[in-house]
Amino acid sequence: MSDLPLIIHFHGCPGRDEDVALAASAQFAISNFTKPLAPAFNLLCVLSSVIANLTRLAFEPPQPMVEDAINGASIWLGRGSMFVLSEAQALKLLNNATRTRTSGLSTLVDVGAGDGEVSRRFAHIFDERYATELSASMRKSLSSKGFLLLDTDSWWQGQSFDCVCMLNLLDRCARPRSMLREARSAIREGGVLLLALVLPFKPYVEVTTDHKPEERLPIAGATFEEQAASFIRFMKDEIGFELSSWSRTPYLCEGDFAQAYYWLDDSVYVFTPV
């Protein structure tokens, strides 16, 4: 094999920085290879296409179909998993809020559930599990985990739940106030809202042109504690929720070659309607 010349050519593309062009337009040519090398060469070509597309996406705003493709690839590869609460943590928060055994909470809906990995860790304590999600690939993942899918625009109409779950959703949706009001109307008597919010609050919305929310949350303060207190006041005064229990937890995300995992400070609350 050492006598076999293997020639790989990288062809750049005009109009981009040299280093970006090298990766973005990687085209491989190989000469003088024998038949046993053909499968390896085919794999090399596929990888070059993946590198080119990922590099292009790093410099261009992702479109909905592209975002869904990326989400699907992440699910298929089993990468990008996130963690907010363990089963024990969720049980403690819910038990403290309801003052009863969580067996009294039988129906859960996870709004904006993603691939379902975050709520999967405690969703099984509920008899019925529902979810909403826009991404087609994420919806497929949710179905495989036993969630019944509801319409994202009307999930709160004509049905009530013991627990409405919104984990790290408010800083990523265009109309967070409306989402909270919908959640309140969907909670049955004795039910709760389980909500997680990264602080400091820095909203970023993919679906708006300026990536800013259409509705603002009046969260004030410079520190984690000040912003948490501000959010709790807003929930009571404007939305009609009373705080029952809360915790500060690390919001963990699976890392990459540079770092094993990444984390943010998450505030996790259990609210009850007043």
Q: What 3-state class would DSSP assign to 154?
A: coil
Residue type at 123 in one-letter notation: A
pLDDT at 31: 45
Confidence of residue 83 (pLDDT cuts 50, 70, 90): confident
Which is more confidently placed, 41 or 270? 270
Q: Please give the Cα distance from 207 to 268 (Å, whole number).
A: 25
User: Phi-psi region for residue 78, left (φ > 0), alpha (ψ -120 to 50) or beta?
Assistant: left
Query: Tokens 């504690």 — which residue?
Result: 225
230-239, Cβ contacts within 8 angstroms, sequence gap of 24 or more: 231/197, 231/199, 231/201, 231/267, 232/269, 235/180, 235/269, 235/271, 236/274, 238/177, 239/177, 239/180, 239/181, 239/184
Q: Which of 215, 213, 195, 197 is nearest to 205 (CA)?
A: 213
Please give the DSSP secondary-structure letter assigned to residue 179.
Answer: H
The CATH number of domain 72-273 is 3.40.50.150? yes
pLDDT greater at residue 135 or residue 46: 135
pLDDT at 190 over 80: yes
pLDDT value of residue 66: 42
pLDDT of res. 14: 39
CB atoms under 10 Å from CB of 91, counted, come to 15
**Residue 270 pLDDT > 90:** yes
Q: Is 127 exposed, middle or buried (0-12, 13-18, 19+ CB in 10 A)?
A: exposed
Residue ranges of the alpha helices (H) in the chain? 18-24, 38-59, 64-77, 87-98, 117-123, 136-144, 176-186, 224-234
> Whole-angstrom Cα distance, residue 25 to residue 51?
9
Per-residue pLDDT reduced to its tens digit, 34-64: 556 666 656 665 666 666 555 555 544 445 4
Residue count of the chain: 274
Residue keyed to tokens 């400091």:
200
- What is the rounded CA–CA span in Å between residue 139 and residue 113? 9
- The tokens of 13 are what? 């593309």
Tell me the average pLDDT across 184-200.
Answer: 96
**pLDDT at 6 exceeding the cut of 50:** no
Distance in angstroms (rounded) separating the CA atoms of residues 55 and 49? 10
Residue 222, phi then psi, degrees to nearest 5? -100, -30
Count of C-beta atoms within a 10 Å radius of residue 109: 28
- At residue 253 the predicted structure's pLDDT band, cuts being 50, 70 and 90, is confident
Q: What is the DSSP letter of 115?
A: T
pLDDT digits (tens, 9 = 90+) for 207-246: 899 999 999 999 999 999 999 999 999 999 999 999 999 9
Q: What is the pLDDT of residues 139-183, one digit of tens each?
A: 999 999 999 999 999 999 989 999 999 999 999 999 999 999 999
